C-alpha cells in the first residue's frame, strides 16, 4: 500500500508521497471504563515515515516543514491545519481521511549511524470540538 499526505494551513502546504511514508494509523478513542457511549471522543492520526536524503540535486523532502509545524505555539492560528491522507492500493483509494483542524500532539525524528535514512513519527489529533468535521471516505478509483 502507498500513502499520500497533504497538510495545508498557514502559509504553506506540506506534501509527502509514496516514497516517504511507511505507516498510517487512524484511531478513535473513548474512555475504556465508560458504561455507555461517551461524549469524550478523540480522533487521532499516527503517521510514520522516512526522512530521505536529497541526492543528485533533488529537492529535500518536506519533513523539515513537519518538524517546524510541531514547534508552532498554540497562540498562532496555523498550529491547526487541514490534513488529507490517502491510502492507495491497486489504483484504488482504499481510504481517504480528512481532518479539518488537526494539531500536533507529538513529533519525533530518529537518526542512526548505521542507516542511510532517518525516520519520523507524527501524532496529530482533530480539535475535539470539531470532531464532526472529520471525513472518512474510500473505495473509489484513483484519479
Question: Residue 30: how many CB atoms within 10 A of its CB?
Answer: 12
Nearby residues of 32 by Cβ (< 8 Å), 6 or more positions away: none
| Assigned C-alpha cell, 12 | 504553506
User: Nine-digit cell at 83?
Assistant: 490534513
Radius of gyration of the chain (CA): 16
Using the rule CB under 8 A, give the single segment among 19-27, 64-72, 84-92, 133-141 that binds another protein. 64-72
* Stretch near another protein under the rule CB under 8 A, chosen from 10-18, 19-27, 51-59, 91-99: 51-59
Per-residue binder mask for another protein (CB under 8 A), 82-121, x = binder:
---------------------xxxxxxxxxxx-xxxx---
Question: Of residues 30, 89, 128, 138, which one binds another protein by CB under 8 A?
Answer: 128
Closest approach of Cβ 23 to another protein, in Å? 17
Task: Give residue for cell 516514497.
Answer: 19
Amino acid at each position: 500500500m502507498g500513502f499520500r499526505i497533504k497538510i495545508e494551513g498557514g502559509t504553506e502546504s506540506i506534501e509527502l508521497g509514496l516514497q516517504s511514508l511507511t505507516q498510517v494509523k487512524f484511531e478513535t478513542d473513548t474512555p475504556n471504563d465508560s458504561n455507555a457511549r461517551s461524549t469524550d471522543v478523540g480522533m487521532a492520526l499516527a503517521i510514520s515515515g522516512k526522512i530521505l536524503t536529497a541526492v543528485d540535486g533533488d529537492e529535500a523532502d518536506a519533513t523539515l516543514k513537519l518538524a517546524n509545524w510541531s514547534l508552532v505555539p498554540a497562540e498562532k492560528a496555523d498550529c491547526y491545519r487541514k490534513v488529507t491522507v490517502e491510502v492507495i492500493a491497486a489504483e484504488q483509494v482504499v481510504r481517504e481521511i480528512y481532518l479539518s483542524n488537526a494539531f500536533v500532539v507529538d513529533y519525533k525524528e530518529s537518526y542512526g549511524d548505521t542507516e542511510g535514512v532517518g525516520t519520523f513519527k507524527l501524532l496529530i489529533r482533530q480539535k475535539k470540538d470539531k470532531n464532526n468535521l472529520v471525513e472518512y471516505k474510500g473505495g473509489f478509483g484513483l484519479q
